[in-house]
Amino acid sequence: MTGRDPFLQANGTMENLLGIERAGELAVTEADYAAARTVQLREGRAPAGTRGNFDLAHLKAIHRHLFGDVYGWAGTTRAEPLTLGGVTVRQPPLLMKGTTTFEAGNRVNARLEAAFDRLRAEGYLQGLSREAFSERAADLLIQINNAHPFREGNGRTQREFMLQLAEQAGHPLNFDPISQQRMIVASYDGIQGDPSTMRRLFDEISDPDRVAVLERGVQYLEGARQHGPEWEEMYVATMTTGREYRGPLVAKGQEFFVMASEGGAIVGHPQDLPEGHGRYVTVQATPFPSVDGGPQPRLEHDLDY
């Protein structure tokens, strides 16, 4: 084995089955293939093994299905022998992204198998209240992410795994209005030993009333991106019941409002806005009301940051 990373071409682009040499082109192509395979997963048209067992083989099957069109190593964890171009090579012992170092490669499978053994012993989180499920599911996602079993595609694989687990447990999740920045922060905090950020995220995406209001706010931010940053680059979250918030209003609709916060935005329901409020408000968050999940409500006020 040489010192060269076996996953990378000489120019630094990931080795791939399509012969793509430019990183930008590869990223777009990979996303397109994975999106099409995701539809198959969610419609039940994926191969056997990509649903149901919630073990390491299940996780690997999801990764193989999502990325097998692009990478010859799809479905192979960092703990397993890697064959590229007919040659078996040893994988790098460590995986770093930015300043984060994930689980050592030779320990990945054992760590995940222990996590999935516990999941099985807990009855795959069935029969729990929504609150208990969301907390335990958040902790499981942190464990899987900390192991980071695959060289690329971990986030999308984990999301599909958790969506299936939640569906079976009777507490569906909705990751759609969770920004990339928020997931990065929650994942980083989890690696640092703080599960609270991920638990809050799961409490939102498992609550249909709360996540519906979050979707309203994200729809606004997505439509207003020409006036500000991409919503994916912001930390966007809903208000937590019982907490007080102060800040400038960005927008207000019939069933949502958006308040600017440091580095992102907070989304709430107009029932909490004080009567006769101005642009700068103080809000005491109350439980979110039931919503019908219908079309985007009419925007009443649109205020720039």
- What pLDDT score does 170 carry? 98
- What pLDDT score does 292 carry? 62
Instruction: Using the predicted structure, report yes or no on whether residue 300 has a pLDDT greater than 80.
Output: no
How confident is the model over 279-290, as a mean pLDDT? 95
- What pLDDT score does 259 carry? 96
Instruction: Using the predicted structure, report yes or no on whether residue 297 has a pLDDT greater than 50.
Output: no
Task: Lowest mean pLDDT of 36-50, 98-112, 116-130, 223-237, name the range.
Answer: 223-237
Residue 85 pLDDT class (50, 70, 90 cuts): confident
- What pLDDT score does 134 carry? 98
Q: In whole angstroms, what is the distance from residue 233 CA to residue 291 CA? A: 27
Q: Tell me the one-letter amino acid at 264.
A: G
156 or 6: which carries more pLDDT confidence?
156
- What pLDDT score does 60 carry? 98
Taking only the tens place, the pLDDT of each residue in 211-226 is: 999 999 999 999 887 6
Average pLDDT over all residues of the chain: 92
Which residues sit opposite 301 in a β-bridge?
252
Residue 227 pLDDT class (50, 70, 90 cuts): low
Query: Does the predicted model carry a pTM greater than 0.75?
Result: yes
Instruction: Using the predicted structure, report yes or no on whether residue 69 has a pLDDT greater than 50.
Output: yes
Task: Lowest mean pLDDT of 79-93, 171-185, 253-267, name the range.
Answer: 79-93
- What pLDDT score does 305 carry? 32
- What pLDDT score does 139 carry? 98
How confident is the model over 183-197, as a mean pLDDT? 97
DSSP string, 264-302: EEEEE-GGGSPTT--SEEEEE--PPPP----SPPPEEEE
DSSP string, the chain: --SS-TTB-TTSPBP-TT----HHHHHHHHHHHHHHHHHHHHTT-SPTTSSS--SHHHHHHHHHHHHTTT-TTTT--TTS-EEETTEEEPPPS--EETTEE---GGGHHHHHHHHHHHHHHTGGGTT--HHHHHHHHHHHHHHHHHH--SSS-HHHHHHHHHHHHHHHHT-----TT--HHHHHHHHHHHHTT--HHHHHHHHHHT-HHHHHHHHHHHHHHHHTGGGS--GGGSEEEEPPTT-EEEEEEEEEESS-EEEEETTEEEEE-GGGSPTT--SEEEEE--PPPP----SPPPEEEE---
- What pLDDT score does 1 carry? 39
Instruction: Using the predicted structure, report yes or no on whether residue 304 has a pLDDT greater than 60.
Output: no
Which residues contact residue 240 at a Cβ distance below 8 angstroms, ignoring those fewer than 6 apart? 200, 285
Instruction: Using the predicted structure, report yes or no on whether residue 112 has a pLDDT greater than 70.
Output: yes
Domains by residue range for the chain, with CATH: 23-173 (1.10.3290.10), 209-215+226-302 (2.40.50.140)
How confident is the model over 96-112, as a mean pLDDT? 93
Instruction: Using the predicted structure, report yes or no on whether residue 293 has a pLDDT greater than 70.
Output: no
Q: In whole angstroms, what is the distance from residue 79 CA to residue 95 CA? A: 11
Instruction: Using the predicted structure, report yes or no on whether residue 299 has a pLDDT greater than 60.
Output: no
Percent of the chain surpassing pLDDT 70: 93
